[in-house]
Amino acid sequence: MTLEILTSPALQPLRHGFFTRRGGASSGVFAGLNCGPGSSDLAEAVSINRSRVAQALDLDPLALAAVHQVHSANVVTVTAPSADKPRADALVTATPGIALTVLTADCQPVLFADRKAGVIGAAHAGWRGALEGVLEATLDAMEALGADRADTVAVIGPTISQRAYEVGPEFFDTFTMEDPDAARFFANGDGDRYLFDLPGFGLYRLRNAGVGEAEWTRHCTYSDPERFYSYRRATHQGEADYGRLISAIRL
């Protein structure tokens, strides 16, 4: 099976993609393109998968820049290929020939580009990172490289949608104490439960930060097991582990 790569017209002509799980070498619960070295998948299969991603981007696998994701607002500026993986959740660069990558399995993968300035970014934005400001921090780091946020496009890739994201009242309290306007991203669920709109919240934070254009590809990771890995779905099904989707952008 060939790789399936979701792209956005808003980011073209830059090479980029939100890779689905189709076309990979992994098997079992990881079946497909699992790109997560931190999973319990066979290291050889993950390496093959990452090589296929690099090939699709016309790069050497060593040029796939990555971070050790920790649900933070930390951003790394990348100037050259490196095997180091600092603890952070976003990357920015103005250097051609490097792909910025993030791994997700329900959290938001967000790709950024100011094509005029030649600056790109990639962020892993789960609820915690989004609330702590990783999207705004990515824009700040891009501006430090010469980008203008008014000229910057941000695209949220496949992530968990509101109908699949049930949370408790303490979660609602955490958000509304930080930002009372965040209440609009919660719908009533069963009993005291809420349904949280993560991509809606991401778009809200991006637009409030002054980004020129922001969109979501409208793919739900939880609801489409054929195409996407989902941490929450794996948990609900009692699976021991889950694959990680990769999203990437390069100059």
Residues 9-65 pLDDT 10s: 999 999 999 999 999 999 999 999 999 999 999 999 999 999 999 999 999 999 999
Structure tokens at 75: 């951003």
Pair type for strands 166-167 and 213-216 = unpaired
pLDDT at residue 83 in the model: 87
User: What is the pTM for the complete model shown?
Assistant: 0.97
- Name the residue among 151, 94, 139 with its Cα closest to residue 118: 94
Greatest C-alpha distance within the chain: 51
Q: Which residues of the chain have pLDDT under 70?
A: none
For the chain, the domains span 5-161+197-250
pLDDT value at residue 46: 98
The class that CATH gives domain 5-161+197-250 is: alpha beta
Chain centroid, CA 58 distance in Å? 21
Q: Residue 226 has what pLDDT?
A: 97
pLDDT at residue 1, as a whole number = 76
Alpha helix stretches (DSSP H) within the chain: 43-56, 127-132, 134-144, 169-178, 198-208, 231-236
